[in-house]
């Protein structure tokens, strides 16, 4: 546990520094520990060290790791791409799905959540960098997607998510983060009824730049679990 206490403290120190540079309160930023490379032992150790939000890329991995004895205050985030046929395993299990990028996925989440009598919080994943190999809605296609979410009573929109190119430096990634923040601001004008409180952006190499540009959720793996 001591190892994770030290690593988490170092990450939170970086979060606080980035927030200070942006004139923000570090409490506005939630650290999501990406645990795709580790098992339940390390997750439990990080939890014991104070970490509460954990992110998984694959539904089947999350089911294996979090199938029993999960603390009530542990929050599970789906951060990987989500196939429609996996939605039934996600709704009501994950506290927040970061990767909703198409109307068909919204419709399936709505169907499954309605059947369970629950409301599923989600973020819209946006491909700001326009990388062909990346998932995510393109900026010009986002309005119909937002409209579909707002018409789905069992789907709760909470904001937007993006990924910078994996090869980018923090400064090369910064325009992507600026782009997501500016898109959020534009959407607030077009959809004043939409809840767009969260911006999920930034990973181990660039989360400080993301915080400086408005991130409220940062997805950090290697700085914690490597």
- Could you read off the pLDDT of 83-114 as tens digits, one per residue? 999 999 999 999 999 999 999 999 999 999 99
Classify residue 54 by its DSSP letter: E
- Per-residue confidence at 116, pLDDT binned at 50, 70, 90? very high
Percentage of the chain lying above the pLDDT 90 cut: 95
143 pLDDT above the threshold of 90: yes
Q: Tens digit of pLDDT for each residue in 181-217?
A: 999 999 999 999 999 999 999 999 999 999 999 999 9
Mean pLDDT of the chain: 97
Does the pTM surpass 0.95? The reply is: yes
Q: pLDDT band for position 65 (50/70/90)?
A: very high
Residue 55 is part of which domain span?
Answer: 2-225
- Cα 203–chain centre separation: 10
Query: Is 155:122 a contact under the CB 8 Å cutoff?
Result: yes
Query: Largest Cα–Cα distance in the chain?
Result: 48
Task: Output the pLDDT for position 86.
Answer: 97
pLDDT at position 210: 99
- Confidence check: pLDDT of 135 > 80: yes
The DSSP call for residue 74 is -
Q: Domains in the chain: how many in total?
A: 1
CATH number of the domain residue 148 falls in: 3.20.20.10
- Has residue 1 got a pLDDT over 80? no
- SS3 helix, strand, coil % of the chain, rounded to 5? 45, 20, 35
- Residue 168's pLDDT band, with cuts at 50, 70 and 90, is confident
Cα 132 to Cα 119: distance, rounded to the nearest angstrom: 32
Tokens of 173: 């990634």
Cβ atoms within 10 Å, residue 21: 12
CA distance 109 to 103: 10
In this predicted structure, what is the pLDDT of residue 92?
Answer: 94
Q: DSSP string of 116-185?
A: HT--EEEEEEB-TT--TTS-SB-GGGHHHHHHHHHT-TTEEEEEEE----TT--HHHHHHHHHHHHHHHH
- In terms of Cβ atoms closer than 10 Å to its own Cβ (0-12, 13-18, 19+), residue 57 is middle
CB 146 within 8 A of CB 188: no
Instruction: Report the distance separating Cα 19 and Cα 12, nearest Å.
Output: 10
Q: Residue 140: what pLDDT? A: 98
């Amino acid at each position: 546990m001591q190892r994770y206490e030290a690593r988490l403290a170092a990450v939170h120190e970086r979060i606080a520094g980035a927030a200070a540079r942006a004139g923000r309160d570090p409490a506005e930023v939630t650290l999501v520990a990406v645990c795709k490379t580790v098992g339940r032992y390390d997750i439990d150790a990080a939890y014991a060290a104070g970490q509460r939000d954990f992110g998984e890329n694959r539904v089947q991995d999350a089911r294996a790791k979090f199938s029993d004895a999960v603390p009530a205050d542990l929050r599970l985030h789906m951060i990987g791409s989500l196939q429609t046929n996996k939605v039934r395993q996600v709704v009501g299990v994950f506290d927040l799905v970061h990767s909703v990028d198409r109307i068909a996925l919204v419709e399936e989440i709505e169907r499954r959540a309605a059947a369970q009598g629950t409301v599923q919080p989600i973020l819209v994943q946006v491909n700001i960098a326009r990388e062909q190999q990346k998932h995510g809605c393109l900026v010009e296609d986002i309005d119909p997607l937002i409209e579909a979410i707002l018409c789905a009573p069992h789907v709760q929109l909470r904001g937007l998510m993006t990924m910078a190119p994996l090869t980018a430096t923090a400064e090369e990634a910064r325009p992507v983060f600026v782009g997501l923040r500016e898109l959020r601001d534009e959407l607030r004008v077009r959809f004043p009824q939409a809840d767009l409180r969260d911006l999920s952006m930034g990973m181990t190499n660039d989360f400080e730049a993301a915080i400086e540009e408005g991130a409220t959720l940062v997805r950090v793996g290697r700085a914690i679990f490597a």
